Amino acid sequence: MAGEEQKSDPRWRVAILDDHERSRAALRAAIWAGGGAVVGEAVRCVDALALVRRTSPDVAVFAVGLPDGDGVDAARNVIDAGCPVVLFTSHTRQDLVDRARTAGVMSFLLKPLRSAELAPVIDLAVARFRETRELRRSLEDRKVIERAKGRLMARYHLSEDEAFHRLRRAAMDTRRPMVEIARALLVSESVASDVPTV
């Protein structure tokens, strides 16, 4: 059956944080209509992080005003844990937009929900979050490679190009990513420097 296929391979797995049953029902219907699945729901900010850890969603949709706090603050913790958040709100005052941007919120859905708006907003939020995470990982990898290059240059009196070529050659020889070689070099250098001399 088509409904069973949709449940086994949803477009997105979504967690919902909203204390209004009517809003949750509208979100559930729109998510299902868009080919997604709701993997969990909560009604309090204090449960947001546990909800996301328990369900591992592709995206979370959070209301802003909740009985025990603010959805933007709850979003910050969830985003730090690796899940994109879309805010579900009836207003988009500038202070809310600024706080949401600072927290790392990917997008907004406006109440009352128009079902046709949900899919593009969630698709974009998931894609942007993935791109941001990959960019961050790429920058972190580059920093590790730069540090390893610096260690090689200092230890063996190499030029920057020579140090880079050594790392690249080691990566090719072992068929491992260069960042893994760089991390291994930094760990071995760290261990070697901690060994007391006799």
Averaged pLDDT, 149-168: 90
Examine the pLDDT at 31 and tell me if it is beyond 50. yes
Residue 186 pLDDT: 87
> Could you give all domains of the chain from N- to C-terminal order, each with its CATH number?
2-113 (3.40.50.2300), 136-194 (1.10.10.10)
Average pLDDT over every residue of 97-109: 93
Q: Is the pTM of this model over 0.75?
A: no
**DSSP state string for the chain:** -HHHHHHHS-S-EEEEE-S-HHHHHHHHHHHHHTT-EEEEEESSGGGHHHHHHHH--SEEEEESEETTEEHHHHHHHHHHTT--EEEEES---HHHHHHHHHHT--EEEESSPPHHHHHHHHHHHHHHHHHHHHHHHHHHHHHHHHHHHHHHHHHHT--HHHHHHHHHHHHHHHT--HHHHHHHHHHHHHHHHHSPP-
Confidence check: pLDDT of 9 > 60:
yes
Name the range with the highest mean pLDDT among 12-16, 130-134, 161-165, 186-190: 12-16
Is the pLDDT reported for residue 80 higher than 60? yes
Give the confidence band of 4 by pLDDT, cuts at 50, 70, 90: very low
